[in-house]
Amino acid sequence: MSTQVHILVVDDDEVTCNLLDEVLSKEGYAVDRALNGREAIGKGERTLYDVVLTDIKMIGVDGMEVLRAYRQKSPETIIIMMTAFGSIDTAIQAIKEGAYDYVSKPFKLEEIKLTIHRALEQNRLLQENLLYRQELITKYKLENIVGRSPLMLQVYKTIARVAESRSTVLLVGESGTGKELVARAIHFNSLRAAKPFVAVDCGSLAETLLESELFGHVRGAFTGAITSKKGLFEEADGGTCFLDEVGDISLTMQAKLLRVLQEHEIKRVGGTETIKMDVRIVAATNKNLEEMVAEKKFREDLFYRLNVVSLHLPPLRDRGEDIPLLADHFLRKYAAENKKPVSRISQEALDHLLLYRWPGNVRELENVIERAVTLSHSSIILPEDLPRRLRVEPVEAPPAFSLRISHCLNWKSYTFKRY
Ligand SMILES: Nc1ncnc2c1ncn2[C@@H]1O[C@H](COP(=O)(O)OP(=O)(O)OP(=O)(O)O)[C@@H](O)[C@H]1O
Ligand SMILES: [Mg+2]
């Protein structure tokens, strides 16, 4: 053990205290003793204990009060209660108030050792899990999604609202609006963050291939299936499965997918065994599924199963005020990646960015900035660093034209911060 585990033993019976001190010290723990509740609380103010093992029934300040004081001042300390035979109700109350567990008196020393050991182990796993989650959350936290327009605020609110639940989410939006980014944000802000996020591009795979990818197959299911293989749904167990381009799947596959959503179970291709799975589905499409339902190209029942919560990702042309923020974000990203000292976008170049319609949305903007950073010979991005299509005057004023122009005027003094 690199750092010693600190345990405080609290009991108004000195004999019990001494016994526990002796036994736990032998186990390699650093043990302190307190002969009453008041002393126990006082010691907690000076020392950070990993575990407090306290008797419940004590004269004056009792074990419950010790528990409450520690929960408040030192919530990470594990509290284990010792209760006299027959006072189970108090023990249960203690658990409800945050005690880790209780041992009944007269206790077996082995039981105490085991309870402490288990509690510490669980705490360690929890810490590890938190660290791991923290890493991923930093990577995909909402702050990674750039945009301050009212439309994007609505998106953040929905992500926050659905992240904690298990509801299926349908992300709808044009190509390049950030559907995959948002799917990841939902996963990494959910309780499933430490479990896998598996993305499947349903549009790019032939039907039979998609089926065996998703459901897996048993040995001999088809020519070439020399071993059995887990499908992506099984891989994603406990986590999230992102079904991208869900509007592209065949009617046969739609029926199979519906079963997964209804029964939460799958069968591998060629197999007979049903496998239970716990997977949250986030689906995405740039198609109009309602229209497809009307045309009988998409099953209505599946549509409703997927559309429990739907989230529309607005096209970039509807949120012009996000363009400078996104451009700045990508400028820093690609300047750092390419180690180029490009620090801002000239006003004239920015005006071009603001007037363009962005059919490819954020992805197109990202590509344009990446290219500009690569081409740039100075610290500033100039109009000539932008592709030709952005530099021609629009033939027809786009609907948001006046809005954009007013933004341009407001942003005459806009400069990007140095990174
Ligand atoms: N709001 C945003 N903030 C920062 N980056 C974004 C934002 N939206 C999209 N991006 C970036 O734009 C690119 C495209 O996003 P993404 O792949 O999530 O789009 P999509 O909707 O899945 O597109 P497609 O339908 O073409 O698959 C990614 O590199 C993503 O990181
Ligand atoms: Mg995508």
- Establish whether residue 173 lines the binding site of ligand 1, counting it when its CB lies within 6 angstroms of any ligand atom: yes
The pLDDT of residue 393 is: 61
* pLDDT > 90 in the chain, percent: 65
Mean pLDDT value across residues 236-252 = 95
The pTM (predicted TM-score) of the whole model is 0.65
Mean pLDDT rounded to a whole number for the chain: 86
- Establish whether residue 323 lines the binding site of ligand 1, counting it when its CB lies within 6 angstroms of any ligand atom: no
Domain match, 31 and 116 both:
yes
Domain match, 56 and 90 both:
yes
Q: In the structure encoding, which two tokens stand for residue 133, read together?
A: 């989650």
The rounded Å distance from CA 95 to ligand 2 centre is 46
Q: Ligand 1, closest atom to CA 183?
A: 18
The pLDDT of residue 418 is: 28
Is residue 412 predicted with pLDDT exceeding 50?
Answer: no
Higher pLDDT, 365 or 148: 365
List the CATH number of the domain containing 173.
3.40.50.300
Q: Which residue has the tokens 């496998």?
A: 275
Domain for residue 241, yes or no? yes
Domain match, 365 and 219 both:
no
Query: Of the residues 259, 292, 312, which one is the last residue of a structural domain?
Result: 312
Domain for residue 126, yes or no? yes
Domain that holds residue 94: 6-132
Coil, helix or strand for 344?
strand
User: What is the spatial distance between Cα 379 and Cα 387, in angstroms, rounded to a whole number?
Assistant: 18
Domain match, 146 and 295 both:
yes
Domain for residue 160, yes or no? yes
Mean pLDDT value across residues 205-218 = 91
Domain for residue 1, yes or no? no
pLDDT digits (tens, 9 = 90+) for 12-40: 999 999 999 999 999 999 999 999 999 99
Higher pLDDT, 95 or 212: 212
- Establish whether residue 248 lines the binding site of ligand 1, counting it when its CB lies within 6 angstroms of any ligand atom: no
Domain match, 25 and 63 both:
yes
Domain match, 69 and 98 both:
yes
Domain for residue 119, yes or no? yes
How many other C-beta atoms can be found within 10 angstroms of the C-beta atom of residue 127?
Answer: 11
The pLDDT of residue 86 is: 67
pLDDT digits (tens, 9 = 90+) for 332-355: 999 999 999 999 999 999 999 999
The pLDDT of residue 135 is: 55
The domain tally of the chain equals: 3
Domain match, 29 and 151 both:
no
Domain match, 302 and 203 both:
yes
**Nearest ligand atom owner, CA of 200:** 2
Q: Are 165 and 159 in contact (CB under 8 A)?
A: no
- Establish whether residue 37 lines the binding site of ligand 1, counting it when its CB lies within 6 angstroms of any ligand atom: no
Task: Judge residue 172's burial from the number of C-beta atoms within 10 Å of its C-beta, 0-12 exposed, 13-18 middle, 19 or more buried.
Answer: buried
Domain match, 329 and 288 both:
no
Domain match, 292 and 366 both:
no
User: What is the spatial distance between Cα 231 and Cα 415, in angstroms, rounded to a whole number?
Assistant: 50
Nearest CA to ligand 1 atom 16: 178
Work out the pLDDT band at 89, boundaries 50, 70, 90. Answer: confident
Where do the DSSP E strands lie in 223-332? 229-230, 240-244, 265-267, 274-276, 280-285, 309-313
Query: Of the residues 294, 312, 330, which one is the last residue of a structural domain?
Result: 312
Query: Of the residues 312, 330, 352, which one is the last residue of a structural domain?
Result: 312
- Establish whether residue 180 lines the binding site of ligand 1, counting it when its CB lies within 6 angstroms of any ligand atom: yes
Pocket test of ligand 1: the residue of 145, 288, 329, 363 to mutate, having most ligand atoms within 8 Å of its CB, is: 363
Ranges 150-164, 179-193, 194-208: which has the least confidence: 150-164
Task: Judge residue 402's burial from the number of C-beta atoms within 10 Å of its C-beta, 0-12 exposed, 13-18 middle, 19 or more buried.
Answer: exposed
Domain match, 161 and 267 both:
yes
List the CATH number of the domain containing 350.
1.10.8.60
Domain match, 101 and 127 both:
yes
Q: In the structure encoding, which two tokens stand for residue 88, read together?
A: 């189970």
